[in-house]
Amino acid sequence: MNFASNGFLFLFLPATIALVWLLASRLNREFLCLLVFGISSAFYLFHSVNFYFLLLISIQFNYGLGILVCQRKKALVIAIAFNLAILFTFKYFDFFIAQAGYDTLNIALPLAISFYTFQQISFQVDRFAGRIQSYPTLITYAAYVTFFPQLVAGPIVRFGQVSRRLQSARPFKASLGRLRLGGAWLVIGLFKKVVLADSLGAVADSAYTNVAQLTFLDAWIGTLAFGLQIYFDFSAYTDIAIGCGLILGLRLPENFDRPYRATNISEFWRRWHMTLSRFLRDYLYIPLGGNRHGPWRRVLNLFIVMLLGGLWHGANWTFVLWGGLHGIFLAFLSLWKKFGVTLPPLAGWFVTFLFVTLAWVAFRANNIGDTAHIWLMMAGTEGVVLPPSLSGLARFLGVETEIRPLAAFNLLNLTLVFAAMTAVLLAPTTRQFALWRRRPFAQAFILGVLFAVAVILMQDGSGRFIYFVF
């Protein structure tokens, strides 16, 4: 069930809130967790019936292994191997055998597998490291893994971040105050998804669906639109997840902190998909040696981490390329810092934004060939074609160039991308707006308008979240 759908907003969520509201004070912790596990299972089953049992097996197996993992390295290795084996089988097996030249088995990708696998790996490692003192019951653990707001596309929640609440007497509860605060997160997320991300997605799609016909302006506007779309889309999902979590009494970690304001790539990764960045840092980069073995080893570690981070997004060379590019840029920044050279903030922001935007081409394009072609178009190797609306500009400048309607570049799309960019850089964050207490009734009024606009423009089935497929 898509968050941005009538079924979720007007049936599933109100029913869930009503159930939790009514039963929170009547049920003990175990039954409340069972209730939320049941609701989350229903949410997953709406999406995917076939792989629900894989999810259950994964939970059961991890829970059992988790008991053994405490201080036992062999058990930890088995637990991690089990999780990675599931991920490899369902997500990467076809990809690798195709590379080896064999026929693929057409294995379908189970919904949310990347997220719940990483979440459970983090549980096992934390358990081994002694960071989980009180081992949860199976039902509490199942409620933690499957908690529906974060199940499909994160944020990746560590057990330690929610353990106190989950192991309290009333892990889930609803109230008017929570409804108000969580509702604010939810409405902002919904608006970002329906109004901004989906509109920008249409611009990006118009450029990327016909790569062979792209022009210089199409390639730039399409790529900028995609960079903004993926930010609004993914941060919207996280906002809605956090909002639902708050309404039900569970606070989930934030995933974004205005990443496009970063003035270097390292800062970008501290602001973008923060729960994944922290996961990669704590469970991969530091175990690999982090920055403890000299600058060259650090560079290598950064590169490996980003390469694998790229591959985590999907079994395609484009994701490997995207991760590899970020790895190279992070490594470059690490060496650059060593020489003590710093760029002025504005120049740093521009270089970072430009690099991130160029790297999105690899993320969005269907294959490496398309990626290279779009980069060449963006470099202006085929000249610049102007749309009829800019023919006056060409005459004014005395430039002779081809003039014809373009696939993605027009005044409306340009306005949209400009407005979205302005919002990304200048608008308050979701947290700031949700916690805006100085004028509560102005906040309620604005949120009401945003909600109405989002509901009007929302179309069932049309706006799936990008990260649903990872």
Partner 1 sequence: MNVHIKWLSLFVGSTFGTLVIFVGAVVGLVDSTAMMTYKRSMVAFKLARLEQAQRQPHVIFVSGSNALYSIDSMSIQQRIGRPVTNAAVHWGLALYMVEEVVKRARSGDIIILPMEYSLYTGPTPSETEACYQIAQARTRLKRLDDWILAIRTCPQRWLGYAIILKIQQATIGGGVFSAVAELNPSGDILINTPSKATPRNYAASPTEPPESATGTGFARLERAIRIGKRKGVRFAVTFPVMPMPSKNARLQIERWEKIIRRWAKKNRIDVLSSSDKHYFPSHCFFDTIYHLHRGCSPQNSEIYASAIMRAIRSGRYP
Per-residue buried b or exposed e for 260-281, using 16+ beta carbons within 10 Å of the residue's own CB: bbbbbbebbbebbbbbbbbbbe
List the one residue out of 396, 393, 434 whose CA is nearest residue 411: 393
Q: How far is the CB of 432 from partner 1 (least distance, A)?
A: 18
Residue 213 in contact with partner 1, rule: CB under 8 A: yes
Separation between Cα atoms, residue 226 and residue 220, nearest integer Å:
10
Residue 359 in contact with partner 1, rule: CB under 8 A: no
Separation between Cα atoms, residue 241 and residue 155, nearest integer Å:
8
Identify which of residues 143 and 365 has a Cβ nearer to partner 1 in the complex: 365
**Residue 35 tokens, joined:** 């209730």
Site for partner 1 in 193-212 (CB under 8 A): 212
Separation between Cα atoms, residue 319 and residue 323, nearest integer Å:
6
Q: Among 405, 428, 435, 439, indicate the residue that binds partner 1 (CB under 8 A).
A: 405
Query: Catalytic site residue 313?
Result: yes
CA 189, 282, 51, 28: dihedral to nearest 10 degrees?
-70
Identify which of residues 94 and 198 has a Cβ nearer to partner 1 in the complex: 198
φ, ψ for residue 46, nearest 5 deg: -60, -35
Q: Among 447, 463, 466, 470, indicate the residue that binds partner 1 (CB under 8 A).
A: 447
List the one residue out of 258, 192, 203 whose CA is nearest residue 225: 203
- The answer to whether the CB of 138 falls within 8 A of the CB of 63 is yes
Q: How far is the CB of 219 from partner 1 (least distance, A)?
A: 15
Q: How far is the CB of 402 from partner 1 (least distance, A)?
A: 8
Print the binding letters for residues 154-193 with partner 1: x by CB under 8 A, - otherwise. ----------------------xx-xx--x----------
Q: What is the DSSP letter of 14?
A: H
Q: What is the DSSP letter of 150?
A: H
Identify which of residues 6 and 342 has a Cβ nearer to partner 1 in the complex: 6
Identify which of residues 105 and 449 has a Cβ nearer to partner 1 in the complex: 449
Q: How far is the CB of 464 from partner 1 (least distance, A)?
A: 17
List the one residue out of 280, 301, 282 whose CA is nearest residue 291: 301
Question: What are 386's strand-pairing partners?
Answer: 403
Among residues 273, 293, 313, 326, which one is catalytic?
313
Residue 107 in contact with partner 1, rule: CB under 8 A: no
Residue 7 in contact with partner 1, rule: CB under 8 A: no
Separation between Cα atoms, residue 177 and residue 113, nearest integer Å:
34
Q: How far is the CB of 453 from partner 1 (least distance, A)?
A: 7
Separation between Cα atoms, residue 282 and residue 288, nearest integer Å:
10
Residue 444 in contact with partner 1, rule: CB under 8 A: yes
Q: Which span sits near partner 1 by CB under 8 A: 29-37, 69-77, 355-363, 408-416?
A: 408-416
Residue 222 in contact with partner 1, rule: CB under 8 A: no
φ, ψ for residue 394, nearest 5 deg: -60, -40
Residue 369 in contact with partner 1, rule: CB under 8 A: no
Identify which of residues 138 and 457 has a Cβ nearer to partner 1 in the complex: 457
Residues near partner 1, by CB under 8 A? 176-177, 179-180, 183, 212-213, 388-389, 392, 404-405, 411-412, 415, 440-441, 443-449, 451-453, 455-459
Q: Which residues are known catalytic residues?
A: 313
